[in-house]
Structure 1
Amino acid sequence: MERLERELERGPLAHGRPDQRWTLVRIKALIGRLFHVSYTIEGTWLLLRRYGWSWQQPARQATERDDEAVELWKKEVRPQVKEWPRPGVRGSPSRTRPGSR
């Protein structure tokens, strides 16, 4: 189990998984490659849980994300490209017949 934990801590990228997420299927395959044994998905989860691993959902955010650039875009660019509806003007769901009073 120590060897498996070391390999898991190295991360998915070290094992050819560029999206940097471990899934049970990937851990099952890693166990098969390292130890030449086959577990079911459920068995893999039970093994991990037995040794204190927990299920976690990663935050879906790109590692390359630049929060300052996103905020700058929201403040300066978005208002220019997004036409906000004028208050008091009714619209129409029809594309061919604009809103009328």
Structure 2
Amino acid sequence: MAAGGSTAAALDAWIVFEDEAGMSMTPPTSRTWASRGHTPVIRVRAGARRQLSVAAPTCYKPGERSRLIHRPRLDTGRGGRRGFAWTDYRDLLIPAHHRLGGPIVLAWDNLPCATRRCGIEWR
């Protein structure tokens, strides 16, 4: 159901599911097994604490091909925000809305910045 009790079909709207994921660019430290006396050596570049975050809405509408729109964000480890801010989501969804060329019904997880700050009506 869209805002106001209308269905997405009645609005002729795109149904958009948005989610995000983060991946570390360095391997996690862990334990490994080896024969006694043969300690394995795993080389990791020191100080490379980078993280890649990706936000991607998937877009569906009957009679249209589905769309995947994504935006990566690389954290270089030099301070600042590691993940997406609400402004990053806004800057992703506004061009997606224009690219789809019609109203969207956005299904979003319970990300705190999604529920508090991105109160934009997409018509």
TM (normalized to structure 1)?
A: 0.28
Q: State the TM-score, normalizing by the size of structure 2.
A: 0.24
Larger radius of gyration: 1
Say which structure, 1 or 2, has more relative contact order (CA 8 Å, 6+ apart).
2
Higher helix share: 1
